[in-house]
Structure 1
Amino acid sequence: MATVALDCPITTHHLSSIAVSQKSSKTARVCTVRCSASISVSSDGGVAIGLGERPWKVADARLALEDGSIWRAKSFGASGTQVGEVVFNTSLTGYQEILTDPSYAGQFVLMTNPHIGNTGVNFDDVDTRAITRRLRQDGSLIGVLSTEESKTDEELLEMSRTWDIVGVDLISGVSCIAPYKWVNKTGSEWEFNFDGRDRETFHVIAYDFGIKHNILRRLASYGCNITVVPSTWPASETLKMKADGVIFSNGPGDPSAVPYAVKTVKEIIGKIPVFGICMGHQLLGQALGGKTFKMKFGHHGGNHPVRNLRNGCVEISAQNHNYAVDPASLPEGVEVTHVNLNDGTCAGLAFPKLKLMSLQYHPEASPGPHDSDTVFAEFVQLMRLEKQKA
């Protein structure tokens, strides 16, 4: 069976070519076309393709930014009007994981790679690179995305200028509502690192601030039995469960907007080994007495270089956050273990006296990179050493 590309006389709203699988027979060529199209085959082997209905509805859409600019494009999928913070992501792939990441709650994600999946480009597309340049220059902007023709440009701009993501608790909207057990592991393609894994098992409580499932899969693959609890789960209940360790997960928004979570972290650290990832890292920083600050446009992408200050190695990491911990605000004894090489911001903490460690980025990243996966082995070792003292 051969595959050929047929150029079709179609409008700019359609793909410019269609892949066709064909096989020869004595009388005609039988074609299978993977698209929304009707096919007719003539006796001389000619193929006529007529485009049918798309499997989605397309509508006119506008993106109104708080700086006064209006961007017009076509929308497919959900309809209506939504307000959020516009950020850009520099990942080359993994857009499925990006679109399903709870840490993006309250935000619009602008992909910057010019070729995402098998997509077409047409003259009606918005120049997303132009929006990205604007965000890099001015910082993240509040935007309103709407398919509602009844709303004027002025109304959309007013919405963008009156909404703010700072100080908003977005975690409560993405956390689970009741505890549950997690047992699924990552597949065999993830078995590239066996450090720290044996038959010993550890019970880990995972606070769900918007937790990514691959964090849970990686923990399970490293021999952990996991209980996931809501963001509001009391520290007293966690300590009653006699777990070997606690994970404070990633999550969306402003870490200073969730004082209840900081209080929980304060009541747990020092009593049991803990590991904070992304939002969890920021909450640990605040619980230790430090401060967080909002970055100009944050870190969103799968290609951020981070230096491990303990061994000097540089790791390529996946990151998704708009806030950072100010290391100058941390008390004596807290060690900055990792630094982002793009801007020098704090990317990891440790405080051996209190049995805690944290990373600002995602060691579990799917589809990658996987440079930091060994940090799960470090957390297991932290729990193992504490278990041996008991």
Structure 2
Amino acid sequence: MNERTYLLLEDGTVYTGEAFGYPAPLVGDLDKGILRFSAVGEVVFNTAMSGYHEVLTDPSYTGQLITMTYPHIGNYGAQGDWNESSRAIDDRGASCDTRPVKAAGFIVRSLYRGPVPKGRITLDAFLNQHGIPGISGIDTRELTLALRDGGSQKGLILRSGDPQASELSDQEKQAGMEYLKAYPAMEGLNLVPEVGTRAVVENPAQGGPTIALLDCGVKANIVREFNKLGCRVVSYPATASAEEILSQKPQGVMISNGPGDPATLDQQIQTIKKLIGRVPVFGICLGHQLIAQAVGAKTYKMKFGHHGINHPVRDERTKKVFVTSQNHGFAVDEASLPDTVKVWFRNANDHSNEGIYSDELRIYSAQFHPESAPGPYDSLWIFEAFLQGIPGYSPSKPAGTSKTKENR
């Protein structure tokens, strides 16, 4: 039988399940108030039916425990080249992507423990390899409803000091609650220094424009999509200045996705302010929020956010609705947008802002993930729509035809 493990929420709720992945910590082994990236974080739920590998390795999930609403997870295993964590390097040119799995923990109803295709490893082995604990066998529907109704909250995956115990002792639960109370909340938390490249990285391509990418925790498929369209992508650390970026004369600038609270990123916001009006600027997810703040808008913490690959979004210019991949816990306050900026996309469920544009300022953004990985390909056309606004860009294929194959 697999070792019993527990999910403790900050409201005192305890879920008992079975351990998988890396062994969960004992509560006595945790240092109070210290930021860590395994076993503890904000608990969110994801409504995707597949794509768990890409979800786990998405830098935007840094500092979060992910609950999958689809009950059976792990049946096709894991494979390293599916990673969405970036190929970041440090200032000496060495890889600094020491945490390919960005999520702090994984919560599922039923874990598949059978054989997987040749060349892959099990989800259990994958998480164990990268130091991330999981818990299975709990009622994820109950947990999801609690998060939906009460909002996201901090949680901790832990094990008891008594392997034979059927529940946490009162002392362990109390210590866990005190630990969670002292642990940093997602609102007000700057996590960008924990992700992304530390030095300039170039992804060459033939004949297309140069896109400078401000790497706040970019997903790998964003770079792949630009490369497919013939672009040369040059990634810069999130701390890069506007002057450094513009000195290389890029034809466009991409502001990437990333984790944490956008309101804490004043340095990046000031950089984007200096870029706007001098070069076309495109943002995805966190990048969208930072562009909005750079033009004077505000962001806010959502109750439980949008996490999944089945979120409908409406293009306010064409009124067409398409299905999108999403992962965000903050949103742009649409009422705070200046008159010079228009709404491009809006969520069809809760009507929250999902994108802005200004042809005058040459800014364009999407709150969702048009690069998918995982997710539908409905919005891949947005990459080419941005590039078509760059002087001299010549599309190599009709807009919207670029796709990334899923090996499932």
Give yes or no for the alignment of 1:98 onto 2:55.
yes
Q: TM-score, normalised by structure 2?
A: 0.74
Contact 1:144/1:157 (<8 A) preserved: no
Give yes or no for the alignment of 1:299 onto 2:306.
yes
Give yes or no for the alignment of 1:132 onto 2:144.
yes
Q: 1:149 to 1:257 in 2, by over 3 A?
A: farther
| Deviation digits for residues 193-220 of structure 1 (CA, Å, limit 9, x no counterpart) | xxxxxx8510001111110000000000
Alignment of 1:203-352 (within 5 A): 203-352=210-359
Q: Give secondary structure in 1 for the equivalent of 2:349.
A: coil
| Corresponding letter in the other structure for 1:378 | A
Shift of 1:79: 2.6
Tell me the distance in 1 between the aligned counterparts of 2:265 and 2:212: 19
Alignment of 1:156-235 (within 5 A): 156-163=176-183, 164-183=185-204, 200-235=207-242
Shift of 1:183: 4.1
Shift of 1:230: 0.8
| Corresponding letter in the other structure for 2:355 | G
Q: 1:120 to 1:162 in 2, by over 3 A?
A: closer
Contact 1:101/1:212 (<8 A) preserved: yes
Contact 2:342/2:358 (<8 A) preserved: yes
Shift of 1:68: 0.9
| Deviation digits for residues 36-92 of structure 1 (CA, Å, limit 9, x no counterpart) | xxxxxxxxxxxxxxxxxxxxxx53322110111111222222234432000000011
**Gap regions ≥5 residues in structure 1:** 1-12, 14-57, 185-198
Tell me the distance in 1 between the aligned counterparts of 2:72 and 2:388: 41
Determine which of 15, 18, 21 is the counterpart of 1:71.
15
Shift of 1:258: 1.3
Tell me the distance in 1 between the aligned counterparts of 2:112 and 2:235: 42
Tell me the distance in 2 between the aligned counterparts of 1:255 and 1:303: 24
Tell me the distance in 2 between the aligned counterparts of 1:299 and 1:183: 33
- What is the count of residue pairs matched by the alignment? 316
Q: 1:177 to 1:234 in 2, by over 3 A?
A: same
Which moves more between the two structures, 231-240 or 66-75? 66-75
Tell me the distance in 2 between the aligned counterparts of 1:171 and 1:259: 12
Q: TM-score, normalised by structure 1?
A: 0.77
| Deviation digits for residues 323-345 of structure 1 (CA, Å, limit 9, x no counterpart) | 00011101111000110011000
Contact 2:343/2:357 (<8 A) preserved: yes
- Percentage identity across paired residues of the two chains: 42
Q: Give secondary structure in 2 for the equivalent of 1:236.
A: helix
Give yes or no for the alignment of 1:367 onto 2:374.
yes
**Gap regions ≥5 residues in structure 2:** 26-38, 76-109, 114-135, 163-170, 395-408
Q: 1:247 to 1:290 in 2, by over 3 A?
A: same
Q: Which structure has greater strand proportion?
A: 1
Shift of 1:354: 0.9
Moved over 6 A (4+): none
Contact 2:342/2:357 (<8 A) preserved: yes
Q: 1:180 to 1:386 in 2, by over 3 A?
A: same
Aligned position for 1:377: 384
Q: Give secondary structure in 2 for the equivalent of 1:215.
A: helix
| Corresponding letter in the other structure for 1:176 | T
Aligned position for 1:50: none
Tell me the distance in 2 between the aligned counterparts of 1:177 and 1:241: 18
Q: Give secondary structure in 2 for the equivalent of 1:382.
A: coil
Give yes or no for the alignment of 1:61 onto 2:82.
no
| Corresponding letter in the other structure for 2:16 | R
Tell me the distance in 2 between the aligned counterparts of 1:239 and 1:137: 46
Contact 1:273/1:386 (<8 A) preserved: no
Shift of 1:121: 7.7
| Deviation digits for residues 282-303 of structure 1 (CA, Å, limit 9, x no counterpart) | 0001000000000000000000
| Deviation digits for residues 235-273 of structure 1 (CA, Å, limit 9, x no counterpart) | 110011100000000001110111111111111111100
Aligned position for 1:113: 70
Give yes or no for the alignment of 1:155 onto 2:175.
yes
Aligned position for 1:145: 157
Q: Give secondary structure in 2 for the equivalent of 1:362.
A: coil
Aligned position for 2:87: none
Higher-Rg structure is: 1
Q: Give secondary structure in 2 for the equivalent of 1:262.
A: helix
Contact 2:355/2:364 (<8 A) preserved: yes
Contact 2:73/2:112 (<8 A) preserved: no
